[in-house]
Structure 1
Amino acid sequence: MRLANRMSGRQLYEWQVITADGQPAAASNGVVVEATAGLVALEKNTTILVVGGVNVRQAITRPILTWLRREARRGLPVGAVCTGAQVIAEAGLLDGRRCTIHWENRDGFEEEFPEIELTHNVFVVDRDRYTAAGGAASTDLMLKLIAMRHGTGLATLVADQMIHTSIRSDRDEQRLSIPARIGIRHPKLAAVIQRMEEHIEEPISPMLLARDAGMSTRQLERLFRRYLNRSPKRYYMELRLARARNLLMQTDMSVISVAMACGFASPSHFSKCYRALYRTTPYRERGASEETA
Structure 2
Amino acid sequence: MTLPSQVSHKPAAPHSIGFLLLENFTLFSLASAIEPLRMANQLAGRELYRWYTLSVDGQPIRASDGLQVTPDAALSVPLSLDMVIVCGGVGPNRSVQREHIAWLQSQARLSRHLGAICTGSWALAKAGLLDGYEASIHWECLAAMQEAFPRVILTPRLFSIDRDRVSSSGGTAPLDMMLTLISRHHGRELAAGISEMFICDRVRGESDQQRVPLKHVLGTTQPKLLEIVALMEANLEEPIGLDELADYVDLSRRQLERLFQKHLLCAPSRYYLKLRLTRARQLLKQTSFSIIDVASACGFVSTPHFSKCYREFFGIPPRDERLGITTPEFSPPTLKKEDATLLKSATFEPLSAGPPSSAGVALDQARGEPTYASVKIKQGEGV
TM-score when normalising by structure 1:
0.63
1:215 Cα deviation (Å)? 2.9
SS of the residue aligned with 1:156? Answer: helix
Aligned ranges for residues 14-33 of structure 1 at < 5 Å?
14-33=50-69
Shift of 1:158: 0.7
Counterpart-to-counterpart distance in 2, 1:151 and 1:4: 11
* Counterpart pick for 1:185 among 234, 252, 271: 234
Within a 5 Å distance, the mapping from 1:213-232 to structure 2 comes to: 214-215=242-243, 219=247, 221-222=249-250
Look up the match of 2:73: 37
The one-letter amino acid paired with 1:40 is: S
Query: Runs of at least 4 residues of structure 1 off by over 6 A?
Result: 176-179
Equivalent residue number for residue 178 of structure 2 = 142
Q: What do residues 254-283 of structure 1 show as CA deviations (whole Å, max 9, x unaligned)?
A: xxxxxxxxxxxxxxxxxxxxxxxxxxxxxx
Amino acid at match of 2:119: T
Residue 269 of structure 2 is matched in structure 1 by none
- In structure 1, how many angstroms separate the alpha carbons of the residues matched to 2:144 and 2:194? 35
Q: Which has the higher contact order (CA 8 A, sep 6+)?
A: 2
Counterpart in the other structure of 2:166: 130
Task: Check conservation: 1:22, 1:39, Cα contact below 8 A.
Answer: yes
Displacement after TM superposition at 1:176 (Å) = 6.7
Tell me how far 1:44 sits from its aligned partner.
4.2
Q: What is residue 80 of structure 1 aligned with on the other side?
A: 116
The structural deviation recorded for 1:46 is 2.5
Cα displacement (A) at 1:51: 0.4
Superposed, which structure 2 residues align to 1:158-173 within 5 Å?
A: 158-173=194-209
Q: Please state how far the C-alpha of 1:24 moved relative to its aligned partner.
A: 0.8
- Aligned in 2, Cα 1:62/1:45: closer, same or farther, shift over 3 Å? closer
Pairing 1:1-293 to 2, within 5 Å after superposition: 1-40=37-76, 42-175=78-211, 182=230, 184-186=233-235, 214-215=242-243, 219=247, 221-222=249-250
CA distance in 1, matches of 2:248, 2:127: 46
Q: Any idea what SS the aligned residue of 2:51 has?
A: coil
Question: In the superposition, relative to structure 1, how do residues 176 and 55 fare at CA in structure 2: closer, same or farther (>3 Å)?
Answer: closer
Task: Give the drift of 1:57.
Answer: 1.1
SS state at 1:63 partner: helix
Structure 1 unaligned regions, length at least 5:
192-212, 224-231, 241-293
Superposed CA deviations along residues 12-63 of structure 1, whole A, max 9, x for unmatched, are 1111110011101110101111111111365444311100001111111111
Displacement, 1:185? 1.8
Q: Which has the higher helix share?
A: 1
CA distance in 1 between partners of 2:47 and 2:107 (Å)? 24
Q: Measure, in 1, the Cα distance between the counterparts of 2:65 and 2:102.
A: 28
SS at match of 2:74: coil
Given the superposition, is the C-alpha separation of residues 24 and 103 from structure 1 closer, same or farther in structure 2, using an over 3 Å criterion? same
Paired letter, 1:23: Q
Give the 3-state SS of the residue equivalent to 1:14 in structure 2.
strand
Identity between Structure 1 and Structure 2 (%): 35
Cα gap change, 1:41 to 1:72, in 2 (>3 Å): farther
- 1:3 and 1:217 map into 2 onto residues whose CA distance is 50
Judge conservation of contact 1:100–1:124 (CA < 8 Å) in 2.
yes
SS at structure 1 position matched to 2:234 = coil
Paired amino acid for 2:147:
E
> SS of the residue aligned with 1:215?
helix
State the SS of the aligned residue for 2:189. helix
For the structure 1 residues 13 and 218, does the alpha-carbon distance in structure 2 shift closer, same or farther, using more than 3 Å as the test?
closer
Q: Residues 92 and 41 from structure 1, CA distance in 2 versus in 1: closer, same or farther, beyond 3 angstroms?
A: farther
